[in-house]
Structure 1
Amino acid sequence: MKRVVIIGGGYAGIYALRELVKNKNIKITLIDKHTYHNLQPEVYDLIANKSNFADVTIDLTTLCLGFNHDHLEFKNLKVRKIDQHKQKIFTEEEEIVEYDYLIMAAGTRTYFPPQIPGLNSADDIKKLHRAITFKQHFESQLFQKIKDEARQCADTHIVVVGAGLSGVEIAAEMAYYSNKFFERGNFSCDNLKISLVSSSSAILPGLKQDLINISQKRLKSLGINIITNTKLQSVEDGYCVLSNGTKIHHSFVIFTGGIEASTISSELDDVERNGRGQLIVNEHLQTEKHQNIFAIGDIAEIKNKDGELMPPNVTIARISGTCAGKNVLKLIDGKPMGVCDPKLDGILIALGGKYAAGDIYGMLTVSGRLAYEIKKYVFSSYRKPLIKLIKKGYNKLRRM
């Protein structure tokens, strides 16, 4: 019986798994250091109290049980080393997992440039536990602010560094949440400020100008201070030092300035990687020297048939995960593999509350409540099937 291992239970790994379970005659092992699949794009809703922990996670144990595959197992392990020649995975828990085919789907992490002093104290909300910690600290400071408002009304200033998709969305959600918080309570101490710092000449670099215009107008209406053409130089005690020579006070610094591949990618010692540590793959999503090792989602450098580099997002995770799952099954069956030619089906940007902006298939720009409802529908269409599976898995677990 062929053994297929997936490292990483994120979007790409789950989509690969959904294909692999169609073959009941292979052994499938899903490995992740976390026990849950983090629905990363929805974490901002968690911070803004629009959802709870259960809404933004999928339990991997019950998910695997829900697939009803006799030879599928989930292992909550942290990978320490991969020996691609002996086809063995070594873990910190000292458990060894063997494979015939390996799918790398461990994703990325926020890149903190070492040349920026003090940046290690910034908040990284890409990781769920760090996002929850930030939420707790922020709400604690809000409480203290209200508690002391009769005596003092100190500024609370959130500085978001990086004005790409993540930076814009978290700034918008935090501003909307804060405005509604003070409005509902009629608190007098409502001097919370949010600054968004972009090293580019505009926010959302690389996106269509009409999306940039809509987003910028929305951010300004929420009271967000947008600083462009400026880099963060250092984070000091209570201040951010910017490249334009100014110092701005901060209560919290959220860094969204870039990503790098999970450190697991470096465990494949003779596999080619790019400058961000992403594994370079061919048109079938295989690594060059090891035809039985695939890489998908954010951990891979994925290009379309025209050689254009694809961005690390949920759409590319879905397409690459599905393609790799199918190709592993074809490889096992001795059939020709398919070519992965990903196409972006658009982009949707959450801009606080029930407001969003989006580009649909490059043909239609939407904004406001309509864009928000489309975004929620897209998320729901992914989450609902997984909820059914984890419910099946939970019921099966209770009968054991």
Structure 2
Amino acid sequence: MEKVVIIGGGYAGIYALRELVKNKNIKITLIDKHTYHNLQPEVYDLIANNSTFADVTIDLTTLCRGFEHNHLDFKNLKVRKIDRENKKIYTEEQEIVEFDYLIIAAGTRTFFPPTISGLDNADDIKKLHRAISFKQRFEKQLFEKIRDELKQCADTHIVVVGAGLSGVEIAAEMAYYSIKFFKRGNFSCDNLKISIISSSSSILPGLKQDLINISQKRLKDLGINVITNTKLQSIEDNYCTLTNGTKIQHSFVVFTGGIEASTISAEIDVARNSKGQIIVNEYMQTNKYENIFAAGDVAEIRDNKGELMPPSVTIARHSGINAGKNVLNMIKGKALEKCNPKLDGILIALGGKYAAGDIYGILTVKGRLAYEIKKYVFSSYRSPLLKLIKKGYAKLKRH
């Protein structure tokens, strides 16, 4: 029986898995160091108290149980080494997993430039446990503000570094949440400030100008201070220093700068780019080993024109499905299918029930309509997974 292993239970890994289970005669193993699939684009709702931990995660144990496949296992392990020659994966837990075909879908993490001193004190909300920690500390500070409002009313200042999608979304959600919080309680000490720092001349560099304009206006309406054409230089206990010489006081610094591939990508001798992403061909294969594929954010993926695709859920879907299909094609001796990923569009959460979006590069939407479209897109991905984890949960309870 052919053994197929997926490393990473994120978007790309799940899409690959949904293809692989169509073949009931292979052994499939999903490996992830976490027991859950983090629905990362929805974490901002968690921080803003619009959802719970259960709403932004998919349990991988019950998910795998929910598939109708007798040879599917989930292993909660941390990969340490990939032995290509002997087709073995070595883990921190001393368990060895064998494979005939491998799909690496381990994702990325936030890149913290070592040149910025004090950056290790910044919050990284890409990781779910760090996002929850930030949420708890932020709420504790809000409580202390209200408790001490007659004695002192110190500023609470959140500095968001990076004005790409992640930075803009977290800044907007936090601003909206704080406005709603102080209004609901009619608290007098409502001096929470949010600044967002962009190294470019505007927020959301690379996106269409109308999306930038809509987002810029929304941030302004929410009272967010947008600082452009400068970078973070250092973080001290009470203030940030920017490269333009400005010093900003801070209570929290949320860093949403660039990305780098999971360290797992370095565990195999294949071509990688400067971010550590694995360079794949049009079939999602690595350059040296035809039985080893990479998908999602961990891979450098290009369309059929050679244009680099940005890391996103859409590209994770295209590449994950393609990698899964091509593993099955190889097993059956069929020709491989080329992957030509296309962006369906982009949707930006801008606080509360307000969003902005570009649909297929044709239509620009904003406000409640864009929010409802974003909500529908998320639901269409999550709903079938919820059915699977409920089925898997029921199976576990019967044993």
3-state DSSP of counterpart to 1:283: coil
Listed one character per residue, the Cα deviations across residues 18-63 of structure 1 (whole Å, up to 9, x for unaligned) are 0000000000000000000000000000000000000000000000
Could you tell me which residue of structure 1 aligns to residue 387 of structure 2? 388
AA of the residue aligned to 1:109? R
| 1:85 matched to 2:85 | yes
CA distance in 2, matches of 1:68, 1:128: 29
CA distance in 2, matches of 1:84, 1:351: 45
CA distance in 2, matches of 1:135, 1:36: 19
3-state DSSP of counterpart to 2:204: coil
| 1:109 matched to 2:109 | yes
3-state DSSP of counterpart to 2:163: coil
3-state DSSP of counterpart to 1:338: coil
Could you tell me which residue of structure 2 aligns to residue 224 of structure 1? 224
CA distance in 1, matches of 2:38, 2:292: 24
3-state DSSP of counterpart to 2:254: strand
| 1:366 matched to 2:344 | no
Could you tell me which residue of structure 1 aligns to residue 276 of structure 2? 277
Could you tell me which residue of structure 1 aligns to residue 317 of structure 2? 318
3-state DSSP of counterpart to 1:175: helix
Residue identity (%): 81
AA of the residue aligned to 1:273? R
Could you tell me which residue of structure 2 aligns to residue 342 of structure 1? 341
Q: Report how far residue 85 of structure 1 moved.
A: 1.1
Could you tell me which residue of structure 2 aligns to residue 199 of structure 1? 199
Could you tell me which residue of structure 2 aligns to residue 252 of structure 1? 252
Listed one character per residue, the Cα deviations across residues 3-27 of structure 1 (whole Å, up to 9, x for unaligned) are 0000000000000000000000000
3-state DSSP of counterpart to 1:385: helix
3-state DSSP of counterpart to 2:126: coil
Listed one character per residue, the Cα deviations across residues 161-187 of structure 1 (whole Å, up to 9, x for unaligned) are 000000000000000000000000000
CA distance in 2, matches of 1:174, 1:386: 28
3-state DSSP of counterpart to 1:230: coil
3-state DSSP of counterpart to 1:177: helix
| 1:399 matched to 2:390 | no
Could you tell me which residue of structure 1 aligns to residue 121 of structure 2? 121
| Mapping for residues 51-66 of structure 1, pairs under 5 Å | 51-66=51-66
CA distance in 2, matches of 1:130, 1:328: 35
CA distance in 2, matches of 1:275, 1:369: 39
Q: Report how far residue 237 of structure 1 moved.
A: 1.1
Listed one character per residue, the Cα deviations across residues 368-398 of structure 1 (whole Å, up to 9, x for unaligned) are 0000000000000000000000000000000
CA distance in 1, matches of 2:90, 2:323: 23
| Mapping for residues 123-162 of structure 1, pairs under 5 Å | 123-162=123-162
CA distance in 2, matches of 1:157, 1:321: 40
Listed one character per residue, the Cα deviations across residues 209-256 of structure 1 (whole Å, up to 9, x for unaligned) are 000000000000000000000100000111000011110000000000
Could you tell me which residue of structure 2 aligns to residue 190 of structure 1? 190
CA distance in 1, matches of 2:237, 2:59: 39
CA distance in 2, matches of 1:307, 1:48: 39
Q: Report how far residue 135 of structure 1 moved.
A: 0.1
Could you tell me which residue of structure 2 aligns to residue 295 of structure 1? 294
CA distance in 1, matches of 2:391, 2:138: 37
Q: Report how far residue 136 of structure 1 moved.
A: 0.2
CA distance in 2, matches of 1:288, 1:260: 20
Q: Report how far residue 68 of structure 1 moved.
A: 1.8
AA of the residue aligned to 1:181? F
3-state DSSP of counterpart to 1:253: strand
Could you tell me which residue of structure 2 aligns to residue 306 of structure 1? 305
Could you tell me which residue of structure 2 aligns to residue 235 of structure 1? 235
Could you tell me which residue of structure 1 aligns to residue 5 of structure 2? 5
CA distance in 1, matches of 2:347, 2:281: 29
CA distance in 2, matches of 1:199, 1:282: 32
Runs of 5+ in structure 2 lacking a partner? none
3-state DSSP of counterpart to 1:325: helix
3-state DSSP of counterpart to 2:290: coil
AA of the residue aligned to 1:290? Y
3-state DSSP of counterpart to 1:30: strand
CA distance in 2, matches of 1:117, 1:32: 32
CA distance in 2, matches of 1:369, 1:281: 39
AA of the residue aligned to 2:224? I
| 1:286 matched to 2:285 | yes
AA of the residue aligned to 2:18? R
AA of the residue aligned to 2:205? P
AA of the residue aligned to 1:318? R
Could you tell me which residue of structure 2 aligns to residue 267 of structure 1? 267
Listed one character per residue, the Cα deviations across residues 245-290 of structure 1 (whole Å, up to 9, x for unaligned) are 110000000000110000000100x201000000000010000110
Could you tell me which residue of structure 1 aligns to residue 209 of structure 2? 209
Could you tell me which residue of structure 1 aligns to residue 350 of structure 2? 351
CA distance in 2, matches of 1:171, 1:348: 16
AA of the residue aligned to 1:169? E
Alignment TM-score, normalising by the size of structure 1: 1.00
3-state DSSP of counterpart to 1:25: coil
AA of the residue aligned to 2:4? V
CA distance in 2, matches of 1:371, 1:322: 27
AA of the residue aligned to 1:62? T
AA of the residue aligned to 1:385? P
Q: How large is the Cα RMSD of the aligned pairs? A: 0.3
3-state DSSP of counterpart to 1:193: strand
